[in-house]
Amino acid sequence: MTTPIEYAHANGATFRQQLHDLIRIPSVSTDSQYAGDVRRAADWLAAELKRIGMENVAVMPTAGHPVVYADWLHAGADKPTVLIYGHYDVQPADKVKDNWTSEPFEPIERDGFIYARGSSDDKGQAYIHVKAAEAYLKTEGKLPVNVKFILEGEEEIGSKNLQDFLKTYAAMLKADVAVISDTGMTSADQPEITRSLRGLTYMELNVTASSKDLHSGGYGGAIPNPALILAQMVAKLHNPDNSIAVPGFYDKVRPLTDADRSEIAKLALPDSEYLNITGAPGMWGEAAYTADERIVARPTLEINGLLSGWTGEGAKTVLPCKAMAKISCRLVADQEPVEIYELVKAYIAQIAPPNVHAELKLINAGDPASIDPTLPVMQAAVRAYERGWGKAPLYSRTGGSIPVVADFKRILNVNTVMLGFGLNTDGAHGPDEHYSIDMFHKGIDTAIYYLEEVAK
Amino acid sequence: MTTPIEYAHANGATFRQQLHDLIRIPSVSTDSQYAGDVRRAADWLAAELKRIGMENVAVMPTAGHPVVYADWLHAGADKPTVLIYGHYDVQPADKVKDNWTSEPFEPIERDGFIYARGSSDDKGQAYIHVKAAEAYLKTEGKLPVNVKFILEGEEEIGSKNLQDFLKTYAAMLKADVAVISDTGMTSADQPEITRSLRGLTYMELNVTASSKDLHSGGYGGAIPNPALILAQMVAKLHNPDNSIAVPGFYDKVRPLTDADRSEIAKLALPDSEYLNITGAPGMWGEAAYTADERIVARPTLEINGLLSGWTGEGAKTVLPCKAMAKISCRLVADQEPVEIYELVKAYIAQIAPPNVHAELKLINAGDPASIDPTLPVMQAAVRAYERGWGKAPLYSRTGGSIPVVADFKRILNVNTVMLGFGLNTDGAHGPDEHYSIDMFHKGIDTAIYYLEEVAK
Asked whether residue A233 falls in the same domain as residue A193, the answer is: no
Q: Model confidence over A406-423: pLDDT tens digits?
A: 899 989 999 999 999 999
Residue A398 confidence (pLDDT) above 90: no
pLDDT band with cut points at 50, 70 and 90 for residue B424: confident
Q: Provide φ and ψ at A395, rounded to 5°.
A: -90, 130
Phi, psi (degrees; rounded to nearest 5) at A205? -105, 125
Mean pLDDT of chain A: 96
pLDDT recorded at residue A402: 82
Nearest CA-CA partner of A199 in A39, A340, A81, A306: A340
Alpha helices in A270-417 (DSSP H): 271-278, 291-296, 337-351, 376-389, 404-407
**In A, which residues are within 8 Å of B358 by CB distance?**
none
pTM for the structure as a whole: 0.80
B304 close to A220: Cβ distance less than 8 angstroms: no
Average pLDDT, chain B: 96
Name the pLDDT band for A287 (thresholds 50, 70, 90).
Answer: very high
Q: Which residues of B fall within a CB distance of 8 Å from A276?
A: none
Mean pLDDT, range B328-338, rounded to an integer: 95
pLDDT at residue A21, as a whole number: 98
Q: Does the pLDDT value for residue A400 go beyond 90?
A: no
Question: H or E segment at B243?
Answer: none
Residue A265 lies in a domain: no
Spatial neighbors of A365 by CB under 8 A, at least 6 apart, are A158, A199, A200, A201, A202, A337, A338, A341, A403
Q: Which residues lie below 8 Å from residue A3, measured CB to CB, with a gap of 6+?
A: A139
Mean pLDDT, to the nearest integer, of B153-171? 94
Whether B373 is covered by a domain: the verdict is: yes
pLDDT score at B360:
98
Going through B332-413 in order, the beta strands assigned E by DSSP cover 357-366, 369-370, 394-398
Bond into A98 cis (ω within 30): no
Average pLDDT over residues A190-209: 95
Q: Give the mean pLDDT of B409-413.
A: 93
The answer on A380 and A354 residing in a single domain is: no
Q: Write out pLDDT tens, residues A421-447.
A: 999 889 888 899 999 999 999 999 999
The helix or strand, by DSSP H or E, that contains position A397, with its residue range, turns out to be strand A394-398
Residue among A29, A244, A294, A31 at smallest CA distance from B311: A31
How much is the CA Rg of chain B, to the nearest whole Å? 23
Closest CB to A219 among B209, B295, B431: B295
Q: What is the pLDDT of residue A136?
A: 98
Which among B334, B366, B398 is the end of a domain? B366
Angle formed by the axes of helices B123-139 and B35-52, nearest 10°: 20
State the Cα–Cα distance between residues B307 and B206, nearest whole angstrom. Answer: 10
* B184 has a pLDDT exceeding 90: no
Please report whether residue A131 resides in a domain.
yes
Residue B337 Cα distances to B94, B151, B252, B303, B363, angstroms: 30, 24, 11, 17, 11
Q: Taking 90 as the threshold, does the pLDDT of residue A314 lie above it? A: no
**Quick check: A273 pLDDT over 90?**
yes
Which pLDDT value is given to residue A424?
A: 84
Binning pLDDT at 50, 70 and 90, where does residue A391 land? Answer: very high
Structural domain boundaries enclosing B359? 199-253+299-366
How many residues can be counted in chain A?
A: 456
| Boundary residue ending a domain (B325, B346, B366) | B366
SS (H, E, C) A246-311: CCCCCCCCCCCCHHHHHHHHHCCCCHHHHHHHHCCCCCCCCCCCCHHHHHHCCCEEEEEEEEEECC
Sign of CA dihedral B380, B384, B385, B391: positive
User: Do the beta carbons of residue B443 and residue B19 sit within 8 Å?
Assistant: no
| A259, part of any domain | no
CATH number at A343 reads 3.30.70.360
Same domain, A108 and A125: yes
Residue type, A161: N
**Domain identity same for B193 and B114:** yes
Residue of A nearest to B402 (CA): A217
Domain total of chain B: 2
- Higher per-residue pLDDT: A263 or B186: A263
Q: Is A67 helix (H, G, I), strand (E, B) or coil?
A: strand
Question: How many beta-carbon pairs below 8 A join chains A and B?
Answer: 378
Let me know if residue A272 belongs to a domain.
no
For residue B398, the model assigns a pLDDT of 86
**Do B192 and B206 share a domain, yes or no?**
no
Nearest CA in chain A to B183: A218
pLDDT digits (tens, 9 = 90+) for A336-351: 999 999 999 999 999 9
The confidence score (pLDDT) of residue B1 equals: 84
Q: Is residue A41 part of a domain?
A: yes
Out of B227, B278, B356, the one facing A306 most closely (by C-beta) is B227
In terms of CA atoms, which chain A residue is nearest residue B428?
A215
**How far A268 CA lies from chain B's nearest CA (Å)?**
12
Predicted confidence at residue B158, as pLDDT, reads 83
Determine whether the interchain pair B223/A313 forms a contact, defined as Cβ–Cβ distance below 8 Å: no
SS3 B213: coil
Is A275 domain-assigned?
A: no
Task: Please tell me whether residues B237 and B326 are part of one structural domain.
Answer: yes
Q: What is the pLDDT of residue A429?
A: 86
Percent of chain A with pLDDT over 90: 89
Kindly tell me if the per-residue pLDDT of A186 is higher than 90. Answer: no
| B238: DSSP letter | B
ipTM beyond cut 0.85: no
pLDDT in tens, A20-66: 999 999 999 989 999 999 999 999 999 999 999 999 999 999 999 99
Shared domain for B109 and B161, answered yes or no, is yes
Look at residue B274 and tell me whether its pLDDT is greater than 90. Answer: yes
pLDDT tens readout for residues B373-386: 999 999 999 999 99
**How many helices and strands in chain B, by DSSP H and E?**
14, 20
Residue B277 in domain: no
> pLDDT per residue over B295-319, tens digit each?
999 999 999 999 999 999 988 899 9
Closest CA to B295 of B285, B305, B280: B285
**Phi-psi bin for A327: left (phi > 0), alpha (psi -120 to 50), beta?**
beta
Asked whether the beta carbons of residue A284 and residue B225 sit closer than 8 angstroms, the reply is yes
In this structure, the strands spanning B67-72 and B55-60 are antiparallel
pLDDT band for position B347 (50/70/90)? very high
Q: Which of B347, B366, B385 is a domain's end point?
A: B366
Are residues A149 and A41 part of one domain? yes
CA distance B218 to chain A (A): 5
CB B213 within 8 A of CB A431: yes
Whether residue A184 is predicted with pLDDT greater than 90 in this model: the reply is: no
Task: Please report residues of A whose CB lies closer than 8 A to that of B305.
Answer: 227, 308-311, 316, 318, 320
pLDDT at B400 over 90: no
Query: How do residues B89-143 score in pLDDT, each as one tens digit?
Result: 999 999 999 999 999 999 999 999 999 999 999 999 999 999 999 999 999 999 9
Query: Is B298 in Cβ contact with A221 (below 8 Å)?
Result: yes
Burial pattern B270-306, b for ≥16 Cβ within 10 A else e, equals eeeebbebbebeebbbbeebbbbbbbbbbbbbbbbbb
- The pLDDT score that the predictor gives to residue A342 is 98
Q: How many residues does chain B have?
A: 456
- Contact criterion met (CB < 8 Å) for A281 and B209: yes
A352 and A411 share a domain? Answer: no
Contacts of A243 (CB under 8 A, 6+ apart): A250, A286
Instruction: Give the pLDDT confidence score for residue B329 in this predicted structure.
Output: 97
C-beta separation of B170 from B419 below 8 A = no
Q: The CATH number of the domain where A420 resides is what? A: 3.40.630.10
Domain shared by B126 and B193, yes or no: yes
The answer to whether residues A231 and B234 touch, using CB atoms and an 8 Å cutoff, is yes
Residues A226 and A357 grouped into a single domain: yes
Q: Are residues B344 and B427 in the same domain?
A: no
CA distance B326 to B329: 10
Q: Is pLDDT of B406 > 90?
A: no
Are A317 and B401 inside 8 Å of each other by CB? yes
Q: What is the pLDDT of residue A107?
A: 98
Q: What's the confidence (pLDDT) of residue B143?
A: 98
- The answer to whether A245 touches A238, Cβ cutoff 8 Å, is yes
Angle between helices B437-454 and B12-23 (to 10 degrees): 110
Average pLDDT over residues A171-180: 97
- pLDDT at position B289: 97
* Cα–Cα nearest to A320, from A405, A433, A208, A417: A208
Asked if A430 and A119 count as a contact pair (C-beta separation under 8 A), the reply is no
CA-to-CA dists, residue B367 to A336, B197, B251, B340, angstroms: 55, 9, 16, 11
CA distance B184 to chain A (A): 9
Q: Which residues pair with A309 in a beta bridge?
A: B305
Residue B315: list chain A partners with CB under 8 A.
30, 156-158, 202, 304, 326, 328, 363-364
Question: Between A282, A310, A400, which is nearest B354 by CB?
Answer: A282
